[in-house]
Structure 1
Amino acid sequence: MTPAILFITVFAVLFGLAIGSFLNVVAYRVPAGIPLVRESRCPRCDAGIRWYQNVPVVSWFALRGRCASCGRGISPRYPIVEALTAVFFALVAAGVTLGQPFDLRPVDGPLWFGSGEFWGTLITLEVFAALSVALTLIDLDVKRLPDAIVLPGWAAIVVLLLVTTLLAGLEPVSGDASTGPATAGIDWWPFLRALIGGAALFLFYLIVRLISPRGMGGGDVKLAGLVGTVLGWFGWGALVFGAFAAFLLGGIFGGILLLTGRAKRRSAIPFGPWIIAGAWVGIVVGEPVGRWYLGLMS
């Protein structure tokens, strides 16, 4: 691992810790209707929390998991979410840096790291990672996916993919001393495929909701549009595999709950976390699996 890659990964860890702390706030306040700009307070005694009592992970251990004012316990979920978000951000940074996710693009290979497309892809996936954590926590807590997060998140992803597309078109791909560097030109297809993927997955989930309103929430439908946009950017294989993985993972989890007696057939089980988990499976392995399958068919 080069020093530059190491620096980006370490920075992602530190940034992930800070974002994880903010996501704890988002997961608690948005469903409760509490403004995000309000100062941090103890949820039990309402005492203000000073900045040095709010350092991710460290402060929880320094305070021994208790409020400095009332002494009542602070949930260990706070440092766990902060630490897991940091790991999540680091894995995304390392994956984008080393994985070269667009192996059919001319900007790949030695020109990938540090390119405009690299930074656009990295920021887009880190934003999606933050949305994944926040929406998973909220859906598990209140079995709801707030429009206040899903819809702006979807819009942000579309804008970031558009910027990344424009940056990719400006990247040098070849050239010599006589002609100078050439550029790839703007390839609009990945962006259009992302929009198609978002619309397609939105419509698919909408049809499922119309057929079975009790089995699919409106928030799941909107989240599917966001997820389909991200997956469509990576390719059709990622889109199909990610959509299938959501139902597979959710079905396995539901089956385990039924077999262990922790849920009944009519029990409401949050599906948002499995839509998100399926999306990440599609991002990581969807395209390789798709190419492998097409190779078997040829």
Structure 2
Amino acid sequence: MVAVIGVLGGVVGCGAGWLGRWVLGSVRRGVVVPRPWCELAVGVAWAWVALRVAAGMPWWWAAVPLLLGWVGVLLAVCDVRAYRLPDVFTLPAYPVAAVLVGVAAVHRPGTWSGALVGALLLGGVYLLVRVLLPEAMGPGDVKLAGVLGLVVGAVSVGAVLVVMVVAALGTLAAASWRGRGAVPHGPVVLVPAWLVTAVAPGW
């Protein structure tokens, strides 16, 4: 039964990935993505969340890693291919994430305090880097940081610090490997943020 749930989650995720790939190619400042990268990535992410739900992840939290898995894949692909994180994805994520955190807060008191601290911490640090070293941090990264801090902080503020360290190390490793040129930061912060929301909660 658990395997069936995982397969169903993967199939639905592939459909969501197909839709996301279509959206990416249709919106202003989007990108054209060849098949089947979005389908596979979202399918794997949603299959994992489905398995976690089958293993006991609360329904009121599952929507968070599902949303982040979908939007995160689209943003990561866009950042890798075009070095930008479009507002059409980052800005609407704020009210949606706030609603989902609000639902979680009904079932888990204290969620809002961690979420707000996380948003201020991650968003504030990224904004500071943008102000002091504008060539090292794009405006899209700053906009994304706030919403990631919100959902990761809902898990724990400590997890926000871990995501920050992992993202910084990932960017340094990517820059060292490439040797020169710009390095997209979006994927290296999106992946650990999603992992926190999809793996860490034991509620």
- Which one of the candidate residues 208, 213, 219 is aligned to 2:140? 219
Contact 2:93 2:147 survives alignment (8 Å):
yes
The answer for unaligned runs of 5 or more in structure 1 is: 35-42, 44-74, 99-111, 169-185, 259-263, 289-298
Q: What is the TM-score with the length of structure 2 in the denominator?
A: 0.89
Alignment of structure 1 residues 115-264 onto 2, 5 Å: 118-166=58-106, 168=107, 187=109, 189-258=110-179, 264=180
The match for 1:270 is 184
Residue identity in the other structure for 1:200:
L
Specify whether residues 190 and 133 from structure 1 end up closer, same or farther in structure 2 by C-alpha distance, changes over 3 A only.
Answer: same
Contact 1:89 1:126 survives alignment (8 Å):
yes
Alignment of structure 1 residues 275-286 onto 2, 5 Å: 275-283=189-197
Larger % of helix: which?
2
The match for 1:49 is none
Residue identity in the other structure for 1:271:
H
> Take 1:97 and 1:241, find their aligned partners in 2: how far apart are those partners?
27
Larger radius of gyration: 1
The match for 1:40 is none
> Take 1:287 and 1:159, find their aligned partners in 2: how far apart are those partners?
18
Calculate the aligned-residue CA RMSD, in Å.
2.4
Q: What is the TM-score with the length of structure 1 in the denominator?
A: 0.62
The answer for unaligned runs of 5 or more in structure 2 is: none
User: By how many angstroms is 1:7 displaced?
Assistant: 4.0
Contact 1:145 1:220 survives alignment (8 Å):
yes
User: By how many angstroms is 1:287 displaced?
Assistant: 8.6
Count of residues in Structure 1 that have an aligned counterpart in Structure 2: 202
Specify whether residues 284 and 241 from structure 1 end up closer, same or farther in structure 2 by C-alpha distance, changes over 3 A only.
Answer: farther
Alignment of structure 1 residues 98-117 onto 2, 5 Å: 98=55, 112=56
User: What SS class does the counterpart of residue 145 from structure 1 fall into?
Assistant: coil
User: By how many angstroms is 1:227 displaced?
Assistant: 0.9
The answer to which structure, 1 or 2, has the higher relative contact order (CA under 8 A, 6+ apart) is 2
